Every structure is written in structure tokens, then in C-alpha cells.
Amino acid sequence: MAIALLLGWPTVAPAAAAAAAVESVRVADDRIVIRFDAPIADAASLVAAGTRQILVQVRGALPGEGGRAAGPVRRISQSRRDDGARIAFDLAAPTVVGDAGFSEGGRALELKLQPASEATFAAAAEAGWSSYFPLSFGGRPRYKVAQAVPPSARAGPLPRVEGEPGRPLVVIDAGHGGVDPGAINAVTGLREKDVTLKIAYAIRDALVASGRVRVALTREDDRYLVLRERFGIARRLHADLFISIHCDSVGQGDATGASVYTLSEVASDKEAARLALRENKADIIDGVDLGGAGADVRSILIDLTQRETMNQSAGFARLLGREAKPLIPVKPVFHRMASLMVLKAPDMPSVLFETGYISNPEDARFLDSDAGRERIAEGVTRAAQVYFARRMAAE
Ligand code: ZN
């Protein structure tokens, strides 16, 4: 939090969720265009195989009335659902969503429709929700900020790297550690810092066993690292992918399931903003901001919305959702965005993986079991294999 203030940007989302409404819904040939009367921060789409629908969930928005159906869409209906507007498109033929994104400063969401075979339709339904955010698609960079990064000259020794030389490098960051326990289960005393380390080991072992990537851990024991050191280590190793492992927590309630976060200077919803506040606090122990303490840092100008890195991060996040969903409990909207310090390397695709709720008894048991950790590691490994295969195919 102190760091965010230092940099002069908001950690908490402005009131983007305040009362936007769906203004119109149109279908023309191969696309759906949804317009809003105010900017929207977050939307998601789902192919529902059972009801042969495409569902669009718009967080924080009020539903409008129906819409004009055409082409592959037979009927459009709108309702209030899960903190936002749910728009259902009944399909005349199997159809999936291709490219999608916001325009008009978050006031319009466009989804391209593609005719699909029954098999493709079923596969798209399996993939679950896809999330869309105004910043990740085609937006002009909004801010340039000065960001402090650790200079390599004064940095400590680097961790060991395992795996075959020449393979892409994945750095796994076990969240918290040392004086910072992270979240604690109030009943069992299970600590986030211990769980994240064990999960990081499991992911490392599975990735190394796959033979496709090299792997390093930012920490291999119970030690404290400031957030900049974590992505600083990965940058110095020239990592191709950075995955920070955490466990979610809430004071009350039975929230459950995993989710993944990528960077945005504006949080995608209130929950994402709260998460950013909590995770960014890891640099502040006993009221002292260690992230900035005595840091002989240089400032470099970073284009925060570097589209390529953000899109790659979002691409991995989507793959992780697809691959993890059959293996572990996940939240309905898996991919979210937040201003998370640990994701702020500008040139390295980075995600923060909230593997489940340490505050939930069932999630906590799953996270603290060998079987649970193996399934998490399996999901990450499958996603990484597809991710790097695609990257190599694209080069
Ligand atoms: Zn955490």
C-alpha cells in the first residue's frame, strides 16, 4: 500500500462498479455488441452446452431489456445475477466466441461469433468462463509511471535452476515467508507461507518431470523476501513466466475455490481490490515499509500497459483456468485483475495464483494434502505446456 502511494497510482479501484446499465444489445451477422451507459470494468462469457446458450456476465451492471436477435442467435434475455447483469443468447446453431474486447473506453463490449462443430462447441463449454477487461484489449496506454526496480549490482545470489538447458524458464514464487506468515486458518493455525512453499515444491517437481521447461523457486525455505525481490529474481534469471503462489482468505463466510490474477492498475472488482491491499501489505511489517527501506533503487520508465506482456499473462491465466478446472475447485470467474506489486515486472508474463481459501476448512484440507497439491501442480504443468507450445509455434 505504501509503495502504491509512493508511485502515485490507485491501489483500490475507483468506483467503476457504480450503477452502469446495459443500454443496448445487438447481434449482427458474426458479432454481438453490448453497449453500456457508463464504463464497465469486467465482463466474462461462457458457452453453456446444456442450454445451448452463450452467457455474458457484466459485473456491477444493471440489466436492460432483451435485445435484437439475428444470425445464429434466436433470442436474447437479460436478468440480474451474481452482482451484475446476465445476458443470455439462445443459439440456433452451435456457435462459440472468438475474439472479444471492450471499446469506447469500456462502454461497449464486442464478441465475435464463430460457427462451430458440436465437438468444438462442447470443448468451448468445458473451458469455462473467459474474462475481458478494457485494458487488455486494444486500449491505448493510459499511464506512464516511474517504477523502482532492484538494480542487479546489489542483488543477492540467484536460486538454482533445474531442468534441461535451452528450455523456457518458469519461476515459481511461494508467497509470504519468514516474518510474514500470510493468511492463517483461525481454527487449525495453518499458515499461508507454509502451504505456498509446499505447493511451489509440488509445481517445481511436476514441471521438471515434464521435461519441457526449466524451473527455479524464489525461495526454497522459510525466508522473508520483499515483493520487488521476488520478481527481481525472476527478471535477473530472464524468466519466461512468473507464477506467484498464494492462498485466499476471508474473515467470514464459506468462500471457496482457486482464481488467478493478472496485473491492472485498476482492480476488476471490490474483491480484487481487497486482495491487492492484503497481498501488497507483505512489504510492510510492523508498520515499516521494507520494500523501500534502504533500497538503492533506480527508476525506469515503464509502460504499465505494455500490451504484449499483459496479453501473454492473460493468455496463460486463461489456459490455467481451462486446465485446472477439471482438477481443482475454482471460482466461477477464474481470471481477475488487480494492482499487485509482485506482478509489476513490465517485460515478463506474470500471474498470481490464488490456489484456494485457507480460511475454508475443505479448501485448507485440499491445499494441505499431497493429493491436492499434486492436482494443482498438474494443472499448472498442463497449462505451461500448452502456453509454451503456442509461444514456440508463434515464433
Ligand atoms: Zn498471499
User: 10 Å Cβ neighbour count for 343?
Assistant: 27
Sorting pLDDT into bands at 50, 70 and 90, what band is 45? Answer: confident
Contact (Cβ atoms closer than 8 angstroms) between residue 247 and residue 195 = yes
Distance 261 CA to ligand 1 centre (A): 12
Average pLDDT, the chain: 81
pLDDT tens per residue across span 262-291: 987 677 788 788 888 888 877 765 555 555
Cα separation of 61 and 81, whole Å? Answer: 10
3-state SS assignment for residue 206: helix
Residue spans of the domains in the chain: they are: 2-134, 169-394
Distance 125 CA to ligand 1 centre (A): 31
- Most confident of the ranges 53-62, 125-134, 238-247: 238-247
User: Residue 293: what pLDDT?
Assistant: 36
User: Residue 72: what pLDDT?
Assistant: 92
Spell out the residues 6+ positions from residue 130 whose beta carbon is closer than 8 angstroms to its own. Answer: 44, 45, 46, 97, 100, 318, 335
User: Residue 303: what pLDDT?
Assistant: 46
Instruction: Pick the more confident residue, 284 or 314.
Output: 314
Cα separation of 194 and 42, whole Å? Answer: 33
Contact (Cβ atoms closer than 8 angstroms) between residue 285 and residue 179 = yes
How does strand 73-80 pair with strand 84-91?
A: antiparallel
Distance from the Cα of residue 52 to its chain's centroid: 28
Instruction: Pick the more confident residue, 252 or 262.
Output: 262
For residue 16, the one-letter residue type is: A
Residue 175 φ/ψ, nearest 5 degrees: -60, 150
The three grid cell numbers given for residue 338, joined into one nine-digit string: 488487480
User: Residue 285: what pLDDT?
Assistant: 59
Superfamily of domain 169-394: Zn-dependent exopeptidases (3.40.630.40)
User: Residue 153: what pLDDT?
Assistant: 34
Question: Which DSSP state fits 205?
Answer: H
pLDDT tens per residue across span 210-226: 999 999 999 999 998 88
Percent of the chain scored above 70 by pLDDT?
81
* DSSP states along 257-285: -EEEEEE-SS-SSHHHHHHHHHHHGGGEE
For residue 302, the one-letter residue type is: I
pLDDT tens per residue across span 97-125: 877 777 887 888 888 888 888 877 887 77
Q: Range with the lowest mean pLDDT among 47-56, 343-352, 369-378?
A: 343-352
Distance 194 CA to ligand 1 centre (A): 11
- For residue 235, the number of C-alpha atoms closer than 13 Å in the C-beta half-sphere is 18
Over residues 16-26, mean pLDDT: 78
Distance 181 CA to ligand 1 centre (A): 9
Distance from the Cα of residue 316 to its chain's centroid: 9
Distance 365 CA to ligand 1 centre (A): 17
Q: Range with the lowest mean pLDDT among 102-116, 149-163, 364-378?
A: 149-163
Q: Does residue 9 have a pLDDT over 80?
A: no
Rounded to 5°, the CA angle 232-237-240 comes to: 95
Among 71, 70, 77, 66, CA closest to 24: 66
Cα separation of 323 and 198, whole Å? Answer: 20
pLDDT tens per residue across span 60-93: 899 998 888 999 999 999 999 877 899 999 999 9
Distance 259 CA to ligand 1 centre (A): 12
Distance 283 CA to ligand 1 centre (A): 12
Over residues 321-328, mean pLDDT: 97
The three grid cell numbers given for residue 143, joined into one nine-digit string: 499511464
Cα separation of 211 and 214, whole Å? Answer: 8
Cα separation of 260 and 318, whole Å? Answer: 9
Distance 160 CA to ligand 1 centre (A): 24
User: Residue 351: what pLDDT?
Assistant: 96
Q: Does residue 322 have a pLDDT over 60?
A: yes
Q: Does residue 229 have a pLDDT over 60?
A: yes
Distance 103 CA to ligand 1 centre (A): 33
Distance 75 CA to ligand 1 centre (A): 43
> In this structure, is the dihedral angle defined by the CA atoms of residues 333, 335, 338 and 342, taken in order, positive or negative?
positive
Distance 331 CA to ligand 1 centre (A): 17
Sorting pLDDT into bands at 50, 70 and 90, what band is 134? Answer: low
Q: Is the overall model pTM greater than 0.85, yes or no?
A: no
- For residue 321, the number of C-alpha atoms closer than 13 Å in the C-beta half-sphere is 26
Sorting pLDDT into bands at 50, 70 and 90, what band is 128? Answer: low
Over residues 17-25, mean pLDDT: 81
Q: Does residue 5 have a pLDDT over 60?
A: no
Spell out the residues 6+ positions from residue 389 whose beta carbon is closer than 8 angstroms to its own. Answer: none
Q: Does residue 199 have a pLDDT over 60?
A: yes
Distance 247 CA to ligand 1 centre (A): 6
Distance 219 CA to ligand 1 centre (A): 14
* DSSP states along 91-139: ESS-EEEEEEEEEGGGTEEEEEEEE--HHHHHHHHHT--EEE-GGGSSP
User: Residue 133: what pLDDT?
Assistant: 65
Percent of the chain scored above 90 by pLDDT?
49
Cα separation of 31 and 133, whole Å? Answer: 18
User: Residue 289: what pLDDT?
Assistant: 54
Among 207, 135, 130, 197, CA closest to 168: 207
Distance 273 CA to ligand 1 centre (A): 14
How does strand 20-28 pair with strand 31-36?
A: antiparallel
Distance 249 CA to ligand 1 centre (A): 9
Distance 350 CA to ligand 1 centre (A): 15
CATH node for 2-134: 2.60.40.3500
Cα separation of 46 and 48, whole Å? Answer: 6
Query: What is the rounded (10 degree) CA torsion for 203, 338, 313, 301?
Result: -120
User: Residue 60: what pLDDT?
Assistant: 81
